[in-house]
Amino acid sequence: MIEIVNMDNEHIKDLTELEKECFHTPWTEKQLEEELKNEYSLFLVALNDKTVAGYVGCQITIDGGYITNVAVFPNMRGKGIAQKLLFELNNRIKEQRLQFITLEVRVSNIPAINLYKKMNYKEVGLRKNFYRNPKEDAILMTYYI
């Protein structure tokens, strides 16, 4: 059973591994720990029978949310876990009466682009050479609440 919970200390080690598996420039254990102390951070973890399966990280700004991290372990993909994380994030953002959620995604990351489109995010812009390692443009996407 998939359960969505707030990120806590006990999840940090697994999330550090998840970052390493997914990204060329992964967030470190220290960076993730810092988010636990940040009152403007909203990080949610998906647990599959108490085991970390994925997570979403978001910064709360004055009028919206800005997603910084989304990842699911390879062996847990294709089961709707990212959708569940984004759905719960929407609920939390709505509770705070914010207007939108925004994010960047690599132009080549078709699974993620499809995920965001399915969750009703709209393409609102292109950021040239936004990413390093490898260099790539970012699509800017926004979900209007």
Ligand X SMILES: CC(C)(COP(=O)(O)OP(=O)(O)OC[C@H]1O[C@@H](n2cnc3c(N)ncnc32)[C@H](O)[C@@H]1OP(=O)(O)O)[C@@H](O)C(=O)NCCC(=O)NCCS
Tell me the closest approach of the beta carbon of residue 93 to ligand X, in angstroms.
17
* Residue whose CB is less far from ligand X, 15 or 97: 15
Question: Which spans of this chain sit near ligand X (rule: CB under 6 A)?
Answer: 22, 70-72, 77-83, 105, 109-112, 114-115, 118
* Residue whose CB is less far from ligand X, 5 or 62: 5
DSSP string, 72-97: E-GGGTTSSHHHHHHHHHHHHHHHTT
d(C-alpha 119, C-alpha 128), whole Å: 24
* Residue whose CB is less far from ligand X, 97 or 135: 135
Active site residue 95: no
Tell me the closest approach of the beta carbon of residue 97 to ligand X, in angstroms.
26
Check 55, 116, 121, 143 and give the catalytic one. 116
140: Cα within 13 Å, side-chain hemisphere: 10
DSSP annotation of 62 reads S
Tell me the closest approach of the beta carbon of residue 62 to ligand X, in angstroms.
23
Which stretches of the chain are DSSP H helices? 12-22, 29-37, 81-95, 110-118
Token pair 């102390």 in the structure block, residue: 37
Active site residue 116: yes
